[in-house]
Amino acid sequence: MALVHAGEAPATVRRAVRRVAPTVLRAVLELALVFVLFELYRFGRLLARGQEAAAYENAVRVHHLEQVLRLPSEATIQGLLPDSVLHLANVYYVSVHFPAMIAFLVWGYLFRPRAEYRWARNLVISLTGIALVVHIVFPLAPPRMFPQWGFLDTMAAFGPDAYAGASGDLANQFAAMPSLHVGWAVLIAYVVHRTGPRWLAWVAYAHVLVTVTVVVVTANHYWLDGVVAVLLLTAVAVALPPPAADRPASTTPSEGGAVDDEAVLRLAREDR
């Protein structure tokens, strides 16, 4: 039976720690960055509170503009759906938005090249930051606040309600334009279409279609809220072009913690 020499096991452990430590540190820093940004966004939304009068006036303008553009009536579409479907739409609206973005960032962090992950992360940061500015300078009351236009507040009627209780007291309900539900969904689809597997791209496309439908039938957003979100994303994507497709793959762990195949094989040979 082979004997382990003194100091051999600790040395192996130290090598493993040195190899893993940079990736773990980058992971912690990325998580901290994303957490801080989301908290700043939540805090910034509170700055727009107290603008109810302006939000209602802007809603009248947006509603009138949609009529001029002859866009389909959100209230009519909402009225075509049974209560059970509206309840499911509420669940999707409340439950999928943030988890989908977190899952997207984790996927990019772990499985995509460093350049691709950093590009996608910067798209999220830029789009969210610009949306926050628009929310502050252009407060907008969502359709669900206008029963006189035929809208039903489905969250209040059927639940779950994202604005009930303590969370409602802290939320800015007049941040309808742009719709980050739509903006984030389209961003995810855009990035996954470019850099992800085809099956996952189809999942992302479906998420876009469902999200657009959900934000409309729950009367949380106007059509134009989604249009503005896509226009802002387009501007951000032009300003932040994707990394070159023929860029050589990194042979070290990415900022997202992923290691390419060549690096994995090299590390395996070193361990033998």
**pLDDT value at position 262?**
46
Task: Output the tens digit of pLDDT for each of the chain's 272 residues.
Answer: 455 454 555 766 566 556 656 666 777 777 777 777 777 766 666 666 678 899 999 999 999 999 999 999 999 999 999 999 999 999 999 999 989 999 999 999 989 999 999 999 999 999 999 998 999 899 999 999 999 999 999 999 999 988 876 555 556 789 899 999 999 999 999 999 999 999 999 999 999 999 999 999 999 999 999 999 999 999 999 999 999 864 434 433 444 444 444 443 343 344 44
CA angle 25, 31, 37 (to 5 degrees): 135
Q: What is the pLDDT of residue 16?
A: 56
Residue 263 corresponds to which amino acid?
A
- The per-residue pLDDT for 32 is 79
* pLDDT given at position 245: 64
Q: Say how far apart CA 244 and CA 88 lie, in whole Å.
A: 41
12-34 as b/e: b if 16+ CB within 10 A: eeeeeeeeeeebeebbeebeeeb
Reported pTM: 0.80
Is the backbone of residue 150 left (phi > 0), alpha (psi -120 to 50) or beta?
left
SS3 of residue 159 by DSSP: coil
Cα separation, 46 vs 35, whole angstroms: 17
Distance of CA 238 to the CA centre of its chain: 19
